[in-house]
Amino acid sequence: YDEDGNLLTGSFMDYALPRTQMLPHFETNRTETPSPNNPLGVKGIGEAATIGSTPAVVNAAVDAMSHLGITHLDMPLTPERLWRAIQDA
């Protein structure tokens, strides 16, 4: 943004996308967690898309209640846990 609040990188013409040489070197490991719900231990591919939704909702709740001093909520987030956190704050 410039001094008047105008976005300076509103298109890919103005915004330089990060390239691999700009990133630090890192290695990844694979973690396998077989499903206990079937004999093969397999999981459906559609489950991957919902993995981040629960932590995102909990993070939003913590953010919304940060003015009360709440910095952590356990998952799964339930109405009772929210109520207790608010009452204990």
How many other C-beta atoms can be found within 10 angstroms of the C-beta atom of residue 81? Answer: 15
What pLDDT shows up at residue 8? 87
- Torsion over CA of 60, 65, 71 and 75, rounded to 10 degrees? -50
pLDDT of residue 25: 86
Cβ density class 15-49: b for 16+ within 10 Å, e for less: eeeeeeeeeeeeeeeeeeeeeeeeeeeeeeeeeee
The tens-digit pLDDT sequence of the chain (89 residues) is 999 998 888 888 888 888 888 888 888 888 788 999 999 998 877 766 667 888 899 999 999 999 999 999 998 899 999 999 999 99
Q: Enumerate the domain spans of the chain.
A: 52-89
Residue 39: the pLDDT is 94
Structure confidence at residue 47 (pLDDT):
61
Of the candidates 57, 62, 86, which has an alpha carbon nearest to the alpha carbon of residue 72?
62
